[in-house]
Amino acid sequence: MHVVPVADPADPRLTDFTDLTDVDLRSAREPAEGLFLAEGEKVVLRALAAGYAPRAVLCERKWLGGLEDALAAYDCPVYVAEPAVLRAVTGYRVHRGALASMQRRALPGLDEVVAGAGRVVVLENLVDHTNVGAVFRNAAALGVDAVIVSPACADPLYRRSVKVSMGAVFAVPWTRADDWPGALDSLRSLGFRLFAMSPDPDGITLHEADLAPPVAVLLGTEGDGLTAAALERCDASVRIPMAAGVDSLNVAAASAVVLYALQVAGPAPSSG
């Protein structure tokens, strides 16, 4: 670990941390360059504990003490700057005072990520990073074994997703399915029953669904829900009963309800 004071927001060594408010740019750039951003001491520490290697760190000096033990084993620069410099570099006020640029790892294949799993969540085309992060936090808290995201789904390792998940994205095995909707056929061939979460009044209620594992629950995009191709591959459409004229819950809230129901449904089958 090399502590390097910086005072110039245009310092080229800080390029991993620039333009953080440009979602389109960062969403394209980060996977292409093999990096992601962890924000806040707790999230940075969780990324390190999960085995992600740091490329560089940018923080206020007062946050250095909480990170230096965890960073001691790594040969990476730790850039220390005043809050005004951090804001000029990133484009916003870094509330928790620390950012780490982490090296991405190659994602596992679908078969690998669901091996031995009993409960799987599938995210089709969610575009809001906040919702993706919230679903991952729910998945970790409620014992989900794996998460599969479609090709058009927002990046679980985008800074906002990671921050909202409080680092839970590091705790749940996940992968992005390049073959879509073929990945759903693969899940069926592996013995999973597929349930589409939808407000469709013709679907069965969550109380009526047999959620005993192995089961995969599908959550669709915030506006239109699941695609026709995904729906036709599911064993049933499942809805959460609504009251007071409300038609549906936010996808993150709905995930908490259905994942709790999965937890109650019983233990996953033994992988042995």
The pLDDT > 70 percentage for the chain reads 97
Q: What is the pLDDT of residues 100-117, one digit of tens each?
A: 999 999 999 999 999 999
pLDDT tens-digit map of 21-38: 999 999 999 999 999 999
CB 65 within 8 A of CB 31: no
| Residue 272 scores a pLDDT above 70 | no
Q: Which pLDDT does position 104 carry in this prediction?
A: 98
pLDDT at residue 268 tops 60? no
The pLDDT score that the predictor gives to residue 13 is 97
Please give the Cα distance from 54 to 74 (Å, whole number): 7
pLDDT on residue 97 = 74
Percent of the chain whose pLDDT exceeds 90: 90
Integer Cα distance of 74 and 211 in angstroms: 44
Average pLDDT over residues 51-64: 95
Q: What is the pLDDT of residue 56?
A: 98
- What is the set of domains in the chain, with CATH numbers? 2-103 (3.30.1330.30), 110-265 (3.40.1280.10)
Q: Compute the average pLDDT of residues 165-179.
A: 96
Task: Assess whether pLDDT exceeds 70 at residue 178.
Answer: yes
Q: What are phi and psi of 71, to 5 degrees?
A: -90, -10
* Residues 166 and 211: beta-carbon distance below 8 Å: no
* The pLDDT value given to residue 175: 98
Residue 131 CB contacts under 8 Å (≥ 6 apart), including other chains:
154, 222, 250, 251, 252
**pLDDT of 67-104, one tens digit each?**
999 999 999 999 999 999 999 999 998 867 799 999 99
Q: Could you tell me the pLDDT band of residue 1, with boundaries at 50, 70 and 90?
A: confident
What pLDDT score does 263 carry?
92
Q: How far apart are CA 109 and CA 163, in angstroms?
A: 25
Q: Please check the confidence at residue 271 and state whether its pLDDT lies above 60.
A: no
User: For residue 267, what pLDDT band results from cuts at 50, 70 and 90?
Assistant: low
Say what the pLDDT of residue 32 is: 96
Question: Is 70 exceeded by the pLDDT of residue 266?
Answer: no
Which residue(s) pair with 239 in the sheet? 205
Size (the chain), residues: 272
- Average pLDDT score over the chain: 94
Between CA 20 and CA 42 the distance in angstroms is: 19
- Answer yes or no: is pLDDT of 43 > 80: yes
